[in-house]
């Protein structure tokens, strides 16, 4: 049998993986498991998680989405995007907070929206290759998401709140996300 199951132990609750290889957990963030004895007849690939795996830290995500229209070209790109063209860019900024304030808010949407809108004013209806703030940086969706993140993070200066990620889409279904670990 392959899958995840719970079993009671006299010492602690354990999450076990019964399957072809315990190393499967390593690729999805469960490194540090130690082999355990599943008892007589148990497969050798039973792995027991540390008790800390069950303790989770709650985090609120607060997101706002806005858009701007701008042109750009990618001079180093080998293809159509080398020529100037435009997009109706979408931008979604997400902040993380561990607690809420006395009003029940982690971060007021209006605060995040106003900060993001102020940054996007710099880009709206421009040729992004000519925007001085980018310098010599190629205005790819990846670089734009990082630039917005870095500028927005400075504006979201609240105790217990941090900017988590910025996603920039140049067309429906195509987006680049920047986050800091």
- What would the pLDDT profile of 65-109 be if each residue is shown by its tens digit? 999 999 999 999 999 999 999 999 999 999 999 999 999 999 999
Q: Write down the residue that tokens 């180093």 correspond to.
A: 76
pLDDT averaged over the chain? 80
Q: What is the pLDDT of residues 38-60, one digit of tens each?
A: 455 544 444 444 444 556 677 99
Q: Which residues contact 135 (CB under 8 A, 6 or more apart)?
A: none
| Residue ranges making up the domain that contains 44 | 3-54
158 vs 81, more confident: 81
Integer CA distances (angstroms), 11 to 8, 51, 54, 55, in order: 8, 10, 14, 16
Q: Are residues 40 and 108 in the same domain?
A: no
Same domain, 92 and 172: yes
Residue where the block lists tokens 């670990």: 181
Domain co-membership, 116 together with 97? yes
Which among 154, 142, 147 is positioned nearest to 132, based on CA atoms? Answer: 147
Same domain, 77 and 164: yes
166, 148 Cβ separation under 8 angstroms:
yes
Task: For residues 111-132, give the mean pLDDT.
Answer: 97
Residue 84: closest CA among 73, 69, 95: 73
Residues 77 and 50 in one domain: no
The CATH number assigned to the domain holding 137 equals 3.30.479.10
């Amino acid at each position: 049998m392959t899958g995840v199951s719970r079993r009671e132990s006299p010492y602690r609750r354990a999450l076990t993986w019964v399957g072809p290889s315990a190393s499967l957990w390593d690729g999805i963030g469960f490194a540090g498991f130690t082999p355990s004895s599943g008892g007589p007849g148990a497969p050798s690939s039973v792995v027991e998680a540390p008790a800390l795996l069950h303790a989770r830290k709650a985090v609120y995500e607060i997101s706002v989405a806005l858009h701007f229209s701008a042109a750009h070209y990618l001079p180093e790109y080998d293809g159509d995007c080398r020529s100037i063209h435009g997009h109706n860019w979408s931008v979604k900024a997400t902040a993380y907070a561990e607690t809420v304030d006395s009003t029940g808010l982690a971060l007021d949407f209006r605060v995040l929206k106003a900060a993001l809108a102020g940054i996007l004013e710099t880009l709206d209806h421009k040729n992004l290759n000519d925007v001085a703030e980018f310098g010599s940086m190629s205005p790819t969706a990846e670089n734009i998401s990082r630039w917005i993140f870095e500028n927005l993070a400075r504006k979201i200066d609240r105790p217990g709140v941090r900017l988590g990620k910025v996603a920039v889409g140049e067309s429906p279904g195509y987006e680049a996300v920047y986050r800091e670990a």
